[in-house]
Amino acid sequence: MTRYRVLAAVALVAGFLLVYFVWATEANPTSAYHFKLGLDLAGGTELVYSADTSQTPASERSDALGALQGVIERRVNLFGVAEPLVQTEQASTLSGTTEDRLIVDLPGVTDIKAAVAALGKTPTLDFMLATTTQIGTSTVQAFAPTGLTGRYLSSASLGFGSGATAGLSAPQVVLNFNSDGAKLFEKITSENVGRTLAIFLDGQPISEPVIKEAIPGGQAVISGNFTATGARDLVRNLNFGALPVPITLESSSAVGPTLGAAAISAGVVAGIIGFAIVALFMIAWYRLPGLIAAVALAEYLAFMLSAIKVIPITLTASGIAGLIISVGMAVDANVLIFERTKEELREGKTPREAVHIGFARAWTAIRDGHLTMLISGVILFWLGTSIVQGFALVFMLGVLASFISAVSLSRVFLLALVPEHKEGVWKFLMGSGAHNA
């Protein structure tokens, strides 16, 4: 019993420390561990862009959209917007077709114009081969896509080369491609020596160099008629991320902080009421084990809130719902254990023996139940939208924490208190409902 009492004391101290951590970090305005609130709780702006993938082969569309998402995430993070959420989706239009969309959530940014300005205009970079078509006596020049776009670009830098004016160096932009881009660039240049490989930025040609030889190594130089300022701006924009596909702003909406505060308040009230009702029921029905379950549940909540802060997890209204539901899961495991323990007490086992056997008999049901809930959470997170993913992530974390709470904390607390024999008041404390043990 001494060992369990020491473990119980350590668990209680750890619980108090977790409670203090949650309170202190939230009360300190300069703390790095404040709750990270999503758009629906903190307020902010949502921007919806349409992505033009008409010129992207179907087999590469998924990769292009993934690259687009990554580029926009880097762009938004660069401007210091806290906890942005960038996602892509396929939506149906009124005409019955589908279009690819980019959705950008910017918590804390309630000025739509400022949000659009923060995202800015990121250039679309394309390398296109010049082709000629004879129509009557006129030769028409056109440009054909090569598949080499901004999504293969890893970095851009400013350089200087010989210019048209003697004694001066002309600004140049040096492009470095990733490994896939380097292979594609070498293939294009080796197969099209003597042809013009035009460089288009946002649909406009900025340079039309002629391929003189195959260029291995994944490095290209844009040597258009740049000023130093223009070349520097281009390098900055390209390093922010050249878009693999063009995007157009379709809609924007703002969520006011008042609505977010109301959602937080409602979630907190619902959580407190739910916890109080569950705790009172457990204590009234299961007496001492119920009180221990309520204490373990409080430690479970302290651990969950601390984990949400430290990981950190962006907390949304759906995430709060997942947290509240996981409280019920934690209680469910305790009910299984206590019912098994009660059966052993009725068969004449001593309290400590009944606790050991009760936990052992409930173990498989608890394990299987939590495993199936984890599988459901993984599927929801994998296939769901951002709202569903917020729920699923907190729910899965809660399932894991409730498993530890039920199997470890409740067991340690019970074995630290229950005696070898159910005599006197212990007969009442170990009973349940209208019956004594």
Q: Which tens digit of pLDDT belongs to each residue from 339-385? A: 898 888 888 888 889 888 999 999 898 889 889 989 999 998 888 76
437, part of any domain: no
| Model confidence band, residue 192 (pLDDT cutoffs 50, 70, 90) | very high
- Half-sphere exposure in the Cβ direction for 271 (13 Å, CA): 21
Same domain, 55 and 203: no
Are 212 and 262 in the same domain? no
The answer to the question of residue 145 being in a domain is yes
Q: Which residues contact 223 (CB under 8 A, 6 or more apart)?
A: 161, 170, 172, 173, 207, 209
- For residues 114 and 80, membership in a common domain is answered with yes
- Would you give the end-to-end CA distance of the chain in angstroms? 21
Per-residue confidence band for 329, with pLDDT thresholds at 50, 70 and 90? confident
Residue 436 resides in a domain:
no
Residues 141 and 156 in one domain: yes
d(CA 243, CA 56): 13
Residue whose pair of structure tokens reads 């951002």 in the numeric block: 386
3-state helix, strand, coil in the chain (%, to 5): 55, 25, 20
- Region 412-420: mean pLDDT is 88
pLDDT at 434 over 70: no
State which residues form the domain around 224.
125-247
Long-range contacts of 356-363 (CB under 8 A, 24+ apart): 356/415, 359/407, 359/411, 362/333, 362/336, 362/337, 363/407
d(CA 52, CA 86): 17
Of 303 and 40, the one with more pLDDT:
303
Amino acid at 355: V
Of 86, 121, 156, which residue sits at a domain end?
121
Determine the pLDDT at residue 320: 83
Whole-number pLDDT of residue 374: 92
**Structural domains of the chain, count:** 3
- Same structural domain, 210 and 198: yes
Among residues 247, 281, 298, the one where a domain terminates is 247
Q: Please tell me the predicted confidence (pLDDT) of residue 167.
A: 44
What integer pLDDT is reported at residue 187 of this predicted model?
A: 94
Residue 434 lies in a domain: no
**242 is a domain residue:** yes
**What confidence category does residue 386 fall into, taking pLDDT thresholds of 50, 70 and 90?**
low
pLDDT at res. 165: 44
269 and 396 co-located in one domain? yes
Q: Same domain, yes or no, for 28 and 63? A: no
Tens of pLDDT, residues 57-71: 888 788 888 878 877
Residues 400, 264 share a domain: yes
What average pLDDT does the chain have? 83
Q: Please tell me whether residue 44 adopts helix, strand or coil conformation.
A: strand
Together in a domain, 263 and 284:
yes
Choosing from 226, 247, 268, the residue where a domain stops is 247
For 124-176, the pLDDT digits (tens) are 788 899 988 777 778 788 899 898 988 888 888 888 876 544 345 788 888 89
29 and 56 in a common domain: no
Both 179 and 205 in a single domain?
Answer: yes
The pLDDT tens digits for 48-59 are 999 888 878 888
Does 376 share its domain with 337?
A: yes
Q: What are phi and psi of 181, to 5 degrees?
A: -65, -35
Q: Mean pLDDT: which of 10-19, 118-127, 246-255, 325-334 is highest?
A: 10-19
* Ordered strands of the 125-135 beta sheet: 138-149, 125-135, 197-201, 204-207
435 within domain boundaries:
no
431 or 409, which is more confident? 409
